């Protein structure tokens, strides 16, 4: 089967899809894509204020999806919702580094225990389901070499990274042992319309955009660190292609983006695309320096070779689309 981001959607016609974290950044962009193709979409979201859920994300298509406000830690709710679904996009998670260090137990409950519980529910009540899990490049920690491929050792630098590592591996394990078809994508900095920009809980780029659009300078720490960025439409392509393909079962794939830039270059480019603005170069705050990972960018050839995915939206284009979106809708994200 040759699969492209355009043809992959034909797999979903008439199907039932569950998205955890469905009111969040990536979940809502994914849902938006699916509802165009006669898919029955259910969104689960806790709307915990510190996380990414935002009802405005689906405001213009809310009548075409089912919305269920509940927490993935709620086993009974999940047991009901998982039944009868063809596909599960498992995107709900605690993503904040700082929150995970200040309250490691909540991070554990969401990123470990709830994941185990979702998989147990699939095993018991819907073993035919196909899942994809949103993992993160943060598991790698400070790279030994660049670009980082999936053979790189995992050395997480915060509680969040450790718990996400466990959550990812539960998915691989349930695929390998119980035949619950699951795979994981290690997302790098994903950005685009509907991201959380209120603060840096999803990515530092969120708070940069907020301050830029509010006419205030944003802070660039150090600035020499190289990073890659995935535009959300590309991440959605990858999720769709991964969840339907049996070639993905039990596999873990890096996502990536082009071009790789350092943070000063990113800041400069963001300001250029915006047509104005300022940033302030700062030293790393001491408590962040300890867990600084230096440069990171991904080798994404495995998903390219296995599923035919590649990032299609270059950074300049993605930043432009993001700024257009938030310039129009800023007040819904503050």
**Binding-site ranges for a copy of itself (CB under 8 A):** 101, 104-105, 108, 112-113, 116-117, 120, 151, 153-159, 162-163, 165-166, 169-170, 172-173, 176-177, 290-291
List, in sequence order, the alpha helices (H) in the chain: 25-35, 75-82, 97-102, 104-108, 114-125, 159-178, 204-213, 232-244, 263-274, 286-289, 301-307, 315-329
Least separation in angstroms between residue 164's CB and a copy of itself is 10
Rounded Cα gap, residues 293 and 225, in angstroms: 9
- Choose between 169 and 325: whose C-beta lies nearer to a copy of itself: 169
| Calpha distance 181→170 (Å, rounded) | 12
Q: Identify which of residues 105 and 259 has a Cβ nearer to a copy of itself in the complex.
A: 105
Supply the minimum distance, in Å, between the C-beta of residue 113 and a copy of itself.
6
**Least distance to a copy of itself, CB of residue 108, Å:** 6
* Residue whose CB is less far from a copy of itself, 152 or 201: 152
Using an 8 Å Cβ cutoff, are 196 and 50 in contact? no
Closest approach, Cβ 228 to a copy of itself, in A, equals 22
Which tokens sit at 143? 């790279």
Residue closer to a copy of itself, measured from CB, 78 or 271: 78
Least gap, CB of 169 to a copy of itself (angstroms): 5
Closest to a copy of itself by CB, 157 vs 320, is: 157
Is the Cβ–Cβ distance between 202 and 270 less than 8 Å?
Answer: no
């Amino acid at each position: 089967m040759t699969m492209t981001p355009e043809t992959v959607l034909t797999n979903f016609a008439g199907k039932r899809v569950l998205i955890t974290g469905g009111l969040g950044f990536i979940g809502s962009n994914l849902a938006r894509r699916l509802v165009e193709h006669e898919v029955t979409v259910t969104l689960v979201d806790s709307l915990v204020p510190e996380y990414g859920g935002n009802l405005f994300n689906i405001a213009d298509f809310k009548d075409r999806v089912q919305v269920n406000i509940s927490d993935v830690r709620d086993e009974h709710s999940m047991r009901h919702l998982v039944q009868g679904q063809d596909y599960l996009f498992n995107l709900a998670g605690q993503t904040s580094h700082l929150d995970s260090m200040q309250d490691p137990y909540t991070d554990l409950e969401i990123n470990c225990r709830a994941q185990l519980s979702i998989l147990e529910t699939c095993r018991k009540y819907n073993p035919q389901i196909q899942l994809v899990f949103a993992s993160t490049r943060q598991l790698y920690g400070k790279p030994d070499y660049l670009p980082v491929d999936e053979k790189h050792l995992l050395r997480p630098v915060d509680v969040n990274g450790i718990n996400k590592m466990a959550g990812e591996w539960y998915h691989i394990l349930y695929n390998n042992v119980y035949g619950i078809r699951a795979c994981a994508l290690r997302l790098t900095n994903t950005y685009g319309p509907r991201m959380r920009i209120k603060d840096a809980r999803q990515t530092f780029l969120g708070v940069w955009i907020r301050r830029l659009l509010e006419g205030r300078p944003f802070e660039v720490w150090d600035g020499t660190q190289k990073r890659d960025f995935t535009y959300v439409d590309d991440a959605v392509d990858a999720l769709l292609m991964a969840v339907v393909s049996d070639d993905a079962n039990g596999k873990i794939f890096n996502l990536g983006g082009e071009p790789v830039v350092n943070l000063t270059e990113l800041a400069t480019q963001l300001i250029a695309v915006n047509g104005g603005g300022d940033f302030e170069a700062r030293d790393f705050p001491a408590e962040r320096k300890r867990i600084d990972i230096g440069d990171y960018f991904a080798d994404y050839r495995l998903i390219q070779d296995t599923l035919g995915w590649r990032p299609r939206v270059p950074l300049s284009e993605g930043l432009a689309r993001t700024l257009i979106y938030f310039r129009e809708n800023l007040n819904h994200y503050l």
